Chains A and B, each alone.
Chain A
Amino acid sequence: MRRLHHMSISREGLIYLAVMGVILTAAIIRQINLLMLLYGVLAGPLLISWSLVRRTLKGLDVARKLPKTVMAGERFCVELVVTNAKRRSSFAVTARDEMLRRESGAKPIGTEVYFPYVPPKESRAATYVGVLEDRGAYDFQPIKISTRFPLGLLRTMLRIEKPQRLLVLPRVGKLAPQWQRLWKADEDAVGGPRRRGGLQEGDFYGLREWRSGDARSRIHWRTSARRQALTVRQYERKRQLIVTLVIDLWQPEKPSADDRRLVEEVVSMAATVAAEVCREGGRMFTMEIVGKTTRSVRAASSPQALEESLKNLAQAEATSNDRLGAALETTFAQLRAGANVLIVGTRKLTLDDAAQFPQLAARPDIRAWVGRAATLTPNDPLWRQLYRRGESP
């Protein structure tokens, strides 16, 4: 932790200096000793606050408590704790905390937090609340603590290096009910002995009373008739849903604002899908982000997997290099039977175009996936039907 002291004079201080100058000049020109005395009385506080203002910051340290993760557009709360290690109190300390989004070239954003009083050997905490609109990694700048105590004439500032990084996860939106039904149909534990996608149905387990939501086809009519109550068959579930999400973050070499918006939308959609898939257990989730760097997540669906996915999405960056073909090739090659593949991307894709994806065309073993993989881009009309962007809470 490196500390830098900086002392400056405030606007009030400048005026004060000017008044002092006037009094001194008047005293010398008119040769009036009492004005000289007045000048001395004016100069005293300025000189003493020069030392007091330094001492106020002496022994102060700031700690920042961050939430583990933050979502774009979501309100979050940062706590700054100022600890006073010296034997005197500190008054009127302002801490300025700023963060800078990586590689965005934008100005740091942040705010000031005010600590009216920090007693000796104690600490005081204050919070600020904010909303970050853009996903990504934010690096915190050194915390600047400053004070103008006691009189507001001079200002000292101390820069305390507390390098910390805040990962702002992409927004998670909402998927339309029809999307949910699409996924649900595949995973209902009370699924019938239908053969689908090479999955084998579980063994018969037993009977239980009907609950709302159970498919009608599972009703064991004979038992129901005997018991005078609906009874359904239960099967032991063996299958595991495999969801593979490929995110294609492509943008032109010189992206326009629209291109950038498109990237963000895709990332947000991917985050939403990931959240949807991971919210419930018992699935296999794979995510491939094809951008500036290729990132992948493979995990059983769990909050952990979601967090991992969102973290990766948060840091994903678009590229003008086209690496989708190679990435799809490896992804498809590893796919197990029965996997659902969804490719979300910024551009319209024609997977069976041999010119665009020569790798896929050359591999007969994965050609089957080319047909089965669904693609979705923000420009599809289906996109708007399925996906609603999350609003700021």
Chain B
Amino acid sequence: MSPELQEIVAALEENMGRVVLGKRDVVRLCIVALLAGEHILLEDVPGVGKTLIGKALAKSVDARFARLQFTPDLLPSDIIGSSIFNAQSNEFVYSQGPIFANVVLADEINRTTPRTQSALLEAMSDNQVSADGHTYPLPKPFLVIATQNPFEFEGTYPLPESQLDRFLLRTSVGYPEREDELRVLTSHRRGEPVEELRPVIDTAQVNRMQEAVRAITVDDSIHEYLLDLVEATRRCDELQVGVSTRGALALYRAAQSLAFIEGREFVIPDDVKRLAVPVLAHRVIAKGFLHGNSRDHLENIIQRLLGEVAVPQ
């Protein structure tokens, strides 16, 4: 791997870390998603910096950035754009929606109607938008950072399970440590620091890195380990639906990406283990009527399964 790319990754991480205080893990996961060419879902209570993280990443990449604030009255066309009748030319002209950007921050995605949600999710999975019978490709790289409030809060439309797996990983942010929180207070003395961030990486570099990530070596034993894990979720009694093949592939890509970020040319079992919970937990459905969607519950199950599957050595 060229040390140049390596430096850029480090710089990106460092840049984000400057505003996102005490959340190195989350930052790293965001970069994992970016380099894997997939999307990330941040889930937590309001006010812990979900949006900040998304903004920080967007600002650090020299790319087109769009922010979508999802509300109950947001319509699909607000996202993907719509055809407007041009009176002069006497025809419909497609005007692109905000989704045509490299980094899209989809804030509070569960506050909008399922119909609007699905418009976004379709775009995410296909990397293209269809409108009025035409297909418009989305720019590369294309990263959606969605945030959502846990659905225990009122006034939300939970994302359907079937669509959750469009996200590479789902993670919570969590409250910062006390000292980090103190730093947050002091750093905000003069305005919002995130606004002062300078981009450290451009889209071309991101594309090159994404290609490099796919070249990361994965040993056969890691394949086995990964499949063992996936199989364990399918055999698990507490789960109704285990991890799909798409999920397995996602874990594979994410592990490659993490290895790249950590400067390795090969995936190690630790990568898989580290990523299993954020990558897999939202791809399984627990048994039972109501507690099935609880993130803690699912993450606990995955964590337990990790303890049961033998690690290659």
Contact = CB atoms under 8 A, between A and B. Distances in A.
Interface of A: 67-71, 74-77, 127, 129, 169, 172, 189, 205-206, 208-209, 223, 227, 229, 234, 236-237, 280-282, 299-300, 302-307, 310
Contacts of B155: 281, 300, 302
B82 A68 contact: no
Contacts of B73: 236-237
A281 B75 contact: no
A77 B158 contact: no
A67 B153 contact: no
Contact of B294 (A68, A70, A299): A68
Contact of B92 (A68, A227, A304): A227
Nearest to A211: B115
Given A76-B288, A227-B92, A303 B75 contact: no
A189 B76 CA distance: 13
B287 A281 contact: no
Contacts of A234: 75
B119 to A, nearest CB: 11
A172 B237 contact: no
B274 interface: no
B289 A74 contact: yes
A74 B154 contact: no
A300 B151 CA distance: 13
Given A70-B289, A208-B82, 20 more contacts: A67-B288, A68-B294, A68-B297, A70-B288, A71-B288, A71-B289, A75-B287, A77-B237, A77-B238, A77-B287, A127-B237, A129-B237, A189-B113, A223-B85, A236-B73, A280-B157, A281-B72, A281-B155, A282-B113, A299-B154
A69 B154 contact: no
Given A206-B82, A236-B73, A67 B291 contact: yes
14 contacts: A68-B290, A68-B294, A68-B297, A69-B288, A69-B289, A77-B238, A172-B289, A206-B82, A281-B113, A281-B155, A281-B156, A302-B156, A303-B158, A307-B290
Contacts of A306: 290
B220 to A, nearest CB: 32
Contacts of A307: 290
A110 B82 CA distance: 60
B77 interface: yes
Contacts of B152: 303-304
Nearest to A76: B288
A300 B82 contact: no
A69 B82 contact: no
Interface string B145-173: 00000011111111000000000000000
B132 interface: yes
B75 A205 contact: yes
9 tightest A-B CB contacts, nearest first: A68-B291, A281-B157, A69-B290, A71-B289, A67-B291, A67-B288, A300-B155, A300-B154, A302-B154
A157 to B, nearest CB: 28
A307 B292 CA distance: 13
Given A281-B156, A300-B154, A169 B75 contact: no
Contacts of B133: 229
Nearest to B291: A68
Nearest to B150: A304
* A interface SS class: mixed
A92 to B, nearest CB: 23
Contacts of A304: 151-154
Given A69-B289, A75-B287, A208-B77, A303 B72 contact: no
A188 to B, nearest CB: 12
Contacts of A236: 73
Contacts of A189: 113
A305 B156 CA distance: 11
Contacts of B72: 281-282
Contacts of A310: 290
Contacts of A68: 290-291, 294, 297
Nearest to A302: B154
A229 B289 CA distance: 42
A284 to B, nearest CB: 11
Nearest to A226: B85
Contacts of A70: 288-289
Nearest to B304: A125
A45 to B, nearest CB: 37
A190 to B, nearest CB: 11
Contacts of A305: 154
A351 B155 CA distance: 34
A113 to B, nearest CB: 14
Contacts of B82: 206, 208
Contact of A74 (B92, B156, B288): B288
Q: Which of B132, B290, B291 has the most CB of A within 10 A?
A: B290
Q: Which of A68, A70, A172, A206 has the most CB of B within 10 A?
A: A68
Nearest to A236: B73
Contacts of A282: 72, 113
A280 B156 CA distance: 9
A195 to B, nearest CB: 21
A18 to B, nearest CB: 44
Interface in B203-258: 237-238
Nearest to B152: A304
Contact of B291 (A69, A129, A237, A300): A69
Contacts of B290: 68-69, 71, 169, 303, 306-307, 310
Nearest to A71: B289
Nearest to A74: B289
A184 to B, nearest CB: 14
A109 B290 CA distance: 23
A358 B305 CA distance: 62
Nearest to A307: B290
B288 A302 contact: no
Nearest to B112: A281
B188 to A, nearest CB: 32
Interface in B90-125: 92, 113
